[in-house]
Copies of this chain bind each other. A is one copy, B any other.
């Protein structure tokens, strides 16, 4: 049976969105090739969650690549810039063009490029990515027109394009709100206690409850009318 499954590369950070996407791809019957990246990010706990999650969903393979994005710089997530917190650094949440300081230049393009390369090698014609245009409207590379441009590029960049096959980018969360994502994942049985969102966790992996990612997550659970099973630092969340 396994050999007859269509293959998909699933970008998996270990966070709430990408875990939901993996659940969707698995439910749709794909043999999932999970791809995670280490890019000088501070939240090492995310990769631990990604490994556990790939295993839990019976991924056909899980590749973790070190990207050296910290050497390129330009973001609070890959350098020593302060991650904005809702209780003091709100002014740092975005630059003059409303692009958050947590935006990592080129990140999704680099992620999708590796996914495209791996898809070509393993014979997958689908890539799943958890980008979301609702909560991340300030990120240029989370917009629907960006994904369309990448799909077009991927058709031209690969053997698939030469042989007439086509690689499809699936972004099932693109137009969902965080609460809709949480409701859909919950219906699919996702254990959100095993997903990580915080940009600034403590050493035990407990979330800060105050960064942009924690705030979006907490708001999402509140709007979905569900408790957030994640562990927060005492007095937060």
Contact = CB atoms under 8 A, between A and B. Distances in A.
Interface of A: 63, 65-69, 71-74, 97, 99, 103-110, 112-114, 116-118, 120-121, 140-141, 143, 145-146, 149-150, 152-154, 156-159, 161-163
B108 A110 contact: no
A58 to B, nearest CB: 21
A71 B141 CA distance: 26
Contact of A72 (B63, B72, B106, B108): B63
Given A63-B71, A68-B65, A110 B114 contact: yes
Contacts of A161: 140
Nearest to A152: B149
Contacts of A71: 63, 65
Contacts of A66: 66, 68
A117 B110 contact: yes
Contacts of A162: 97, 99, 140
Contacts of A118: 72, 105-106
Contacts of A97: 159, 162-163
A110 B116 CA distance: 9
Nearest to A160: B140
6 contacts: A63-B71, A65-B68, A72-B118, A106-B120, A140-B158, A141-B158
Given A63-B72, A104-B117, A109-B153, 5 more contacts: A65-B68, A65-B72, A69-B117, A97-B163, A105-B117
